[in-house]
Amino acid sequence: MEPNTTTIESGLQTVKARIKEVAEKAGRQAESITLLAASKTNPHERLREAFDAGQTIFGENYLQEALVKIAALHDLPIEWHFIGPIQSNKTKRIAENFAWVHGVDRKKIADRLSKDRPESLPPLQICLQVNVSGEDSKSGVAPEEVSDLAAHVAGLPRLKLRGVMAIPELTKATALQRSQFQMLKAAYDELKRAGYELDTISMGMSEDLDIAIEEGATMVRVGTAIFGPRRYAIPEELAARQG
């Protein structure tokens, strides 16, 4: 008996069933919503279990921690997404090791990612992170500056603009949360109207996945509902979190 396997497999099944149910109620196709497994703090063995249960897209937040897992799982055709804050001294290894980056909110970071993306790889797939809560502490470009940043990113040779991403305020006030998801959807629609070919609205986590899908999410980033509560007891990951 391997309780972890059972847990991750059933966690995935539960999340997929929930996506399907909410999508259908909202008149959407479940297939139009991609599930990204947000795997921070979970060791590579647990990601392998998720892969064996059918999950191929993983999102990581901390570069050092991610590099350990990417090396350990190099035998698997995983699509790696970087979903954490991007420090400018880390762009090279992010550009070399990930297929997607969700948190681009500054021209300088976009420039570096494009410059650092190896020619041997396809362009790096990019979502612009939008600050939909207006909190100063949150990363993300202000909604009124999204179109300027999009124009810049679209002009960079080694990046491919795919859409937008947000992390709304942590709140039990669902009306507030809904309005923040709507703000992200509006930013996406505006870019589409301006002529960008986009397909990704990255929003929704374990706690707010239902509202995000109702408001148009095409990619949900789910961690605890798949893997269970996060554990920080792994020394290499604790170290990674420091830097």
Ligand X SMILES: *Cc1c(COP(=O)(O)O)cnc(C)c1O
Instruction: Name the residue nearer to ligand X (CB basis): 147 or 206.
Output: 206
Nearest to 178 by CA among 217, 151, 230, 136: 217
User: Between residue 211 and residue 230, which ones bind ligand X under the rule CB under 6 A?
Assistant: 221-225
Q: Which of 23, 124, 159, 167 binds ligand X (CB under 6 A)?
A: 167
Binding mask 102-141 for ligand X (x = CB under 6 A): ----------------------------------------
Question: Residue from 38, 159, 191, 212 that binds ligand X (CB under 6 A)?
Answer: 38
Position among 76, 205, 228, 234 found at the interface with ligand X (CB under 6 A):
205
**First-residue to last-residue Cα distance in the chain:** 37
Torsion sign, CA atoms 133, 137, 142, 148: negative
CA 67 – CA 72 distance, rounded (Å): 8
C-alpha–C-alpha distance, residues 159 and 153, integer Å = 7
Rounded to a whole number of angstroms, the minimum distance from the CB of residue 224 to ligand X is 4
* Cα separation, 116 vs 168, whole angstroms: 30
* From 40, 46, 81, 185, residue interacting with ligand X (rule: CB under 6 A): 40
Cα–chain center distance at 43: 18
- Name the one range near ligand X by CB under 6 A: 26-34, 153-161, 179-187, 202-210: 202-210
Integer Cα distance of 48 and 50 in angstroms: 5
Phi and psi angles of residue 211, each rounded to the nearest 5 degrees, phi first? -65, -40
Fill in the DSSP letter of residue 232: -
Q: Map the footprint of ligand X across residues 144-163, applying CB under 6 A.
A: none
* Distance separating alpha carbons of residues 23 and 121, to the nearest angstrom: 34
x/- binding map, residues 64-93, to ligand X, per CB under 6 A? -------------------x----------
How many residues in total does the chain contain?
Answer: 243
In the complex, minimum distance from the CB of residue 167 to ligand X, in angstroms, rounded to a whole number: 5
Query: What minimum distance in Å lies between the beta carbon of 84 and ligand X?
Result: 6
Residues that bind ligand X (CB under 6 A): 38, 40, 61, 83, 167, 205-207, 221-225
